[in-house]
Amino acid sequence: MAWNDYRSSPPPGTALGHKDDLVDGSARSVLIDSGKGGFPVLLVASKGLIRAFVNSCPHQDLPLDYRSSDIISADGSMVLCSNHQAGFRINDGIGVLDLGHDCALDVIPITIDADGTIRISVAG
Ligand code: FES
pLDDT at 124: 52
Q: What spatial distance separates the first Cα and last Cα of the chain, rounded to whole Å? A: 14
Residue 21 DSSP code: G
**Euclidean distance between CA atoms 19 and 75, whole angstroms:** 21
Which amino acids bring their CB within 6 angstroms of ligand 1? Answer: 57, 59-60, 62, 81, 83-84, 86, 99
Domains of the chain: 3-120 (2.102.10.10)
Tens of pLDDT, residue by residue over 80-120, are 999 999 999 999 999 999 999 999 999 999 999 999 999 99
SS3 category, 104? strand
Q: Give a three-class secondary structure readout of 22-59.
A: CCCCEEEEEEEECCCCEEEEEEEEECCEEEEEECCCCC
Q: For residue 40, give the H/E element and its range.
A: strand 38-46
pTM of the model: 0.96
